[in-house]
Amino acid sequence: MRLAVDTGALLATLDGTSDALVKLAERGAQLVMTPVNMAEVYYVLCRRLGEAAAIVKDLVESDVVYVVSPPGVHTEAARCKCRNSIALADCYSISLARRLGIKAVFNRERELEEAMGRDPQLARFIVFLDQLQH
Amino acid sequence: MESIKIRPETKRRLIKYRARLEAELGRKVSLDEAIARLLESAESRDFAKFLKAVERTRSRAGKGELVGLLKAGRGEDEAGG
């Protein structure tokens, strides 16, 4: 199983809000994310812990988390942001999922749910942490 | 080169995996390369290392704290420019 992981979903895993990704990773799931989303993870860890490099390095070197930037993802993220009032980084996760033909995992957020209600196409690629079967 | 017989279902999954790799890399990928990457990924995967990074972070950040910081950071993104 392969999932595009949004920033909020990985941070919710790292701060103990959710265990869903840990359980899926234990069963072999691959977690992919764009450099934009990983940059957000990096700065949040840096702000809270004072450093982030060692944790990010371990996440990536574990080969459980893959940072990928497929061709076309930037343009697609920009188009997503053009159509929807959601964070650009959320658009990167959705665009990564679209390009790889997989689902994007998000921590549940109201703005995203509202956008999904307006655009059913968006909803096709999104799953929330609390919906994942582990 | 030695030929290997595989079940049609395995072949279907391999071709699907190759298509994902091609989308990710933005170039053609041979079945040989796809298999080599699968093996490499299986051999190098270190779940314990991933778990250690998660536990190390949880010991230093409270539940919901990092998600809260992300929301604050995205607020700054909106305020900027």
The rounded distance, in Å, linking the Cα atoms of A85 and A104 is 17
Query: Residues 6 or more apart from A42 whose CB is under 8 A from it?
Result: A52, A53, A56
Residue A24 φ then ψ, to 5°? -65, -40
The whole-number average pLDDT for the span A21-25 is 95
**ipTM of this complex prediction, to 2 decimal places:** 0.90
> Is pLDDT at A33 greater than 80 in this prediction?
yes
pLDDT over 60 at A134, yes or no = no
Say if B41 is an interface residue toward chain A (CB within 8 Å). Answer: yes
Lowest mean pLDDT segment, chosen from A30-39, A50-59, A108-117, B72-81: B72-81
Q: What is the pLDDT of residue A128?
A: 95
Residues A81-108: what's their mean pLDDT?
94
- Quick check: B2 contacting A, CB < 8 Å? no
Chain B, nearest residue to A62 by Cα: B46
- pLDDT tens profile B14-30: 999 899 889 888 899 99
Question: What does the DSSP 8-state code read for residue A64?
Answer: S
Question: The whole model's pTM is what?
Answer: 0.84
Name the residue among A49, A65, A100 with its Cβ closest to that of B61: A49
pLDDT in tens, B34-67: 998 888 877 778 999 999 999 999 999 999 999 9
